[in-house]
């Protein structure tokens, strides 16, 4: 089975465009399409995502590695000004999938992803990882020297994002995310600033 995200490109035959970004269920399928001229950095029409954005969002490890080997731009931004690193950090996932998302995050950083890049809401990858409370991604980003206290457009620091997720992400051990943020110098939150849930 093949899933494809087509993008207007330079047509080279009936229904095939050289500028198509391809996501296939099988890595080999994507590899063949890239070998025969698909542009790995083409964007979707609706959100401006590249194949790397989509593969990162769903933590498709083999696809991420394949696209980077074929020259995918690790810091290309989509229409929301998100890089593939933002996409992997922002995607909500189960605790069983946390390791896979961490590995994709690590792989992108190893290949030069900017940890300080900000999306249209002025959120860093750390803000987004704190919202999903994947403590391993948070630890990795903090170890790269990311600003632990950067405020987003709404005035929220990464700690705010982590605390907003605590009540409904217990299986992710959110206390580990909070501890890491504090260990790296996060601002402390006055308890009255957190809305009470009844």
Under 8 Å between Cβ of 117 and 124: yes
Under 8 Å between Cβ of 49 and 42: no
The backbone torsions φ and ψ at residue 21, rounded to the nearest 5 degrees and listed phi first, read -90, 130
Question: Could you state, in order of their start, the residue ranges of all structural domains in the chain?
Answer: 1-84, 115-187
CATH of domain 1-84: 1.25.40.20
DSSP H or E run through 22: strand 21-24
The predicted pLDDT at position 15 comes to 37
| Whole-model pTM over 0.85 | no
Q: Which CA distances in Å does 59 have to 11, 106, 197?
A: 30, 11, 33
- In the CATH hierarchy, which fold is given to the domain comprising 115-187? 1.25.40
- In the chain, DSSP finds a helix count (H) and a strand count (E) of 9, 2
- The b-or-e profile of 136-162 (16+ CB within 10 A means b, else e) is bbbbbbbeeebebebebeeebbbbbbb
Q: Which two tokens stand for residue 68?
A: 């980077």
Question: Which of 163, 168, 164 has its CA nearest to residue 188?
Answer: 163
Tens-of-pLDDT digits for all 198 residues of the chain? 334 444 333 333 333 344 444 555 566 778 887 888 888 898 988 999 999 999 999 999 999 999 999 999 999 999 999 999 999 999 999 989 999 999 999 999 999 999 999 999 999 999 999 999 999 999 999 999 999 999 999 999 999 999 998 888 888 888 999 999 999 999 877 655 555 554
């Amino acid at each position: 089975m093949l899933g494809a995200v087509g993008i207007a490109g330079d047509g080279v035959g009936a229904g095939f465009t050289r500028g198509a970004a391809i996501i296939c269920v099988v890595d080999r399928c994507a590899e063949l399409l890239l070998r025969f001229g698909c542009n790995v950095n083409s964007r979707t029409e609706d959100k401006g995502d590249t194949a790397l954005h989509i593969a990162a969002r769903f933590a498709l490890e083999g696809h991420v590695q394949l696209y980077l080997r074929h020259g995918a731009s690790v810091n290309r931004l989509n229409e929301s000004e998100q890089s593939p690193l933002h996409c992997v950090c922002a995607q909500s996932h189960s605790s069983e999938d946390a390791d896979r998302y961490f590995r994709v995050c690590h792989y992108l950083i190893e290949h030069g992803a900017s940890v300080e890049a900000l999306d249209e809401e002025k959120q860093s990858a750390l803000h987004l990882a704190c919202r999903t409370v994947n403590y391993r991604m948070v630890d990795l980003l903090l170890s790269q020297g990311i600003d632990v206290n950067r405020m987003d457009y709404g005035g929220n620091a990464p700690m705010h994002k982590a605390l907003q997720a605590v009540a409904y992400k217990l299986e992710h051990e959110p206390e580990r995310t909070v501890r890491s943020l504090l260990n790296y110098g996060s601002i402390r939150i006055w308890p009255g600033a957190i809305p009470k849930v009844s």
